[in-house]
């Protein structure tokens, strides 16, 4: 594959994709079941979520989803759509795949509103994503760390730094 994203295509998730995505992630040791993508297909058909698939030179490279009615209460209450589940195959990092997925998601959000939301985990696994979102202009929503979408209390119960420990950010978009 070339280093350019000229051969990068962003398209909607199709019925042929769930086993392809499951196999691509299984090959790198990630457990992402086809049933997740089958559920996404239903949500896409119902207008709940857009699923954006990236192909580089005709081969699956990554995907991201756009949840039109966020589950995170502050986003939901303010009608802020949330970009979720952005994943790019590790051997394709730093090739512009995630940026192009974000460009498309933000373009779709801007067609309907002026603010995009996103949340990311706080472990090192999310380091590249954390940097990318900040460089794209996302800023924390000011509510601090959340665990399972609930505020982490200063002297509250201990939390596990897993995928449920999240910082949420927003970005104002040009319409």
Q: Which of 146, 151, 54 is nearest to 96 (CA)?
A: 54
pLDDT digits (tens, 9 = 90+) for 115-137: 999 999 998 888 889 999 999 99
**pTM reported for the whole predicted model:** 0.91
Q: What are phi and psi of 71, to 5 degrees?
A: -85, -25
Give me the torsion for CA of 90, 50, 143, 125, rounded to 10°: -10
pLDDT digits (tens, 9 = 90+) for 14-38: 999 999 999 999 999 999 999 999 9
Both tokens of 90, joined, read 């590790």
Q: Which of 11, 18, 6, 97 is nearest to 52 (CA)?
A: 11
CATH code assigned to 8-172: 3.40.630.30
């Amino acid at each position: 594959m070339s280093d350019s994203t000229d051969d990068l295509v962003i398209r909607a998730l199709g019925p042929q994709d769930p086993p392809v995505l499951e196999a691509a992630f299984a090959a790198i040791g990630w457990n992402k079941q086809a049933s997740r993508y089958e559920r996404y297909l239903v949500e896409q058909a119902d207008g709940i979520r857009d699923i954006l698939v990236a192909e580089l030179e005709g081969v699956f490279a990554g995907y991201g989803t756009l949840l039109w009615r966020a589950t995170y209460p502050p986003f939901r209450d303010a009608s802020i759509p949330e970009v979720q589940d952005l994943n790019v195959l590790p051997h394709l990092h730093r090739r512009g795949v995630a940026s192009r997925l974000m460009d498309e998601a933000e373009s779709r959000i801007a067609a309907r509103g002026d603010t995009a939301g996103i949340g990311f985990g706080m472990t090192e696994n999310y380091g590249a994503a954390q940097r990318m979102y900040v460089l794209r202009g996302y800023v924390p929503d000011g509510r601090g760390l959340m665990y399972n979408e609930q505020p982490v209390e200063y002297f509250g119960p201990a939390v596990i730094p897993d995928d449920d420990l999240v910082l949420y950010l927003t970005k104002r978009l040009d319409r």
